[in-house]
Amino acid sequence: MKSGRLQIWVPELIAREGGIQSYSIEMVEAAAEILGPGRVTVLSKLDDPRALRERFGGKVKTYATGNVPKFLRTPVFALMLVAVALLEGPQLILSTHANFSPVAAWLQGLRGIPALVSAHGIEVWNLPEGRIRDALRRVKKILPVSEHTRQRMEKEIGLSAQRFEVVPDTYDSDRFRPAQAPAALRQRLGLEGKKVLYTLARLDPGERYKGIDEFLSVLPELVREVPSLVYLIGGKGGDRNRLEEKARSLGVTQCVIFAGFVPEAEKADYYRLADLFVMPGWGEGFGIVYLESAACGVPVLGSTLDASQEVIRTAAIGEAVNPKNAGELTAAILRMVTALPPDPMALYNSVKKKFGREVFRQKVRALLESFGIRR
């Protein structure tokens, strides 16, 4: 027997790419599959309304304010959230970003609609006192993507463990799987005969926690030990010029390749070029890129200072080190790039078993059913 409607509030689904966007898409797709047609409504702040309708082809009802002038978009979107909630009377509201939690908490108080809010990482860490922090204290449940974020929020905001339900990220196990990287791509990037270390990240001044600076700093020593080593950096952003200058100052320009924006269609092949995926930072709330890399058969190096160590150890897909310790970072990389490579299919199976879409859907199904929403 069908029971209840679900509203999912998202920053965007297709307007740009990123971890929160990937999580939001997976949540929408999972809910639509679990509940069936006509049961899920999606409200997006940044997407174009027409593009969003075309993307989901009638599987879910959609509203969006991406076509609203930027200076009006936030208040218009807030009004839309309230209006559609009052119009539809959903049984549950799930916001995939904490920024919308004040509206969700207000509606919960006004109409008794339980509100759930996803928590990814830096957007909910070290929150100052204010509307968002207060709203997170009042919503029915918070959905962190990792135990790392749950523990931080429990301590920083002062909430009990019962207020949280960890729903980890997932990935596309059909797209990301072991295969040979195209020879043409390897040739285009000049990687023939090279030992390739790869990072995929936004090169944004606000995201220096990815650990690229720390990795560049130990690269001279790595190259002395492994002369064939090349560091491939995928991604674009305003910090690229500074990173290129740092590579020049360290004398490693000849072994650092800035690939720029990596098209979604080539994303898996870029992972397959690598011998090791490296992103040892200190600000990851999860890190879907670790899953995608391992699913392509490439081991990963993450950090003991953020949630990446939780992901890596849960799926047994690599190692985690302290990126602030240059000696520890160098030793781990040398150990991993000179060791016998792991079996690609073993990595694929391990990450799929722990973080595959079926696991994600099981968690979403159980979550919805706990609020009385079922097919």
Domains annotated on the chain, with CATH: 6-170+356-370 (3.40.50.2000), 183-354 (3.40.50.2000)
Which letter, b or e, does each residue of 83-112 get, where b requires 16 or more Cβ atoms within 10 Å of its Cβ? ebbeeeebbbbbbbbbbbbbbbbbbbeeee
Length of the chain: 375
Mean pLDDT over residues 143-162, rounded? 95
What is residue 254's DSSP assignment? G
| Cα(257)–Cα(236) distance, integer angstroms | 12
- How far is the first Cα of the chain from the last one, in angstroms, to the nearest whole number? 6
Write down the pLDDT at residue 152. 95
SS3 325: coil
Query: Are the C-beta atoms of 118 and 167 separated by less than 8 Å?
Result: yes
Residue with tokens 């995926």: 277
SS3 130: coil
Rounded to two decimals, what is the model's pTM? 0.94
| Residue 207 token pair | 């995201």
**Percent of the chain residues topping a pLDDT of 70:** 99
Q: Taken in order 19, 20, 21, 26, is the CA torsion positive or negative?
A: positive
Residue type, 323: P
pLDDT of the residue at 360: 98
Question: In angstroms, rounded to a whole number, what is the distance separating the alpha carbons of residues 179 and 196?
Answer: 16
Residue 1 pLDDT greater than 90, yes or no:
no
Q: Which of 141, 91, 138 has the alpha carbon at shortest distance from 118?
A: 141
Average pLDDT over residues 173-197: 96
223, containing H or E segment = helix 212-225
- Residues linked to residue 198 through DSSP beta bridges, in sequence order: 232, 277
Ramachandran area for residue 17 (φ above 0: left; ψ -120 to 50: alpha; else beta) = beta
| pLDDT computed for residue 3 by the predictor | 62
Predicted local confidence at residue 17, as pLDDT:
81
How large is the average pLDDT for residues 56-64? 91
Residue 305 has what pLDDT?
96
- Residue 242 near residue 269 (C-beta atoms within 8 A): no
What is residue 375's predicted lDDT score, i.e. its pLDDT?
Answer: 86
Report the chain's mean pLDDT, rounded to a whole number. Answer: 96
Percent share of the chain, pLDDT over 90: 96
Handedness of CA 235, 252, 276, 144 (dihedral sign): negative
Structure confidence at residue 2 (pLDDT): 52
Mean pLDDT, residues 127-150? 97
- Looking at residue 100, its pLDDT comes to 98
Output the six-digit token pair for 278. 């490296």
Question: pLDDT digits over 77-101, tens only?
Answer: 999 999 999 999 999 999 999 999 9
What tens digit of pLDDT does each residue of 311-325 get? 999 999 999 999 999
Q: What's the confidence (pLDDT) of residue 16?
A: 81
| pLDDT of the residue at 57 | 81
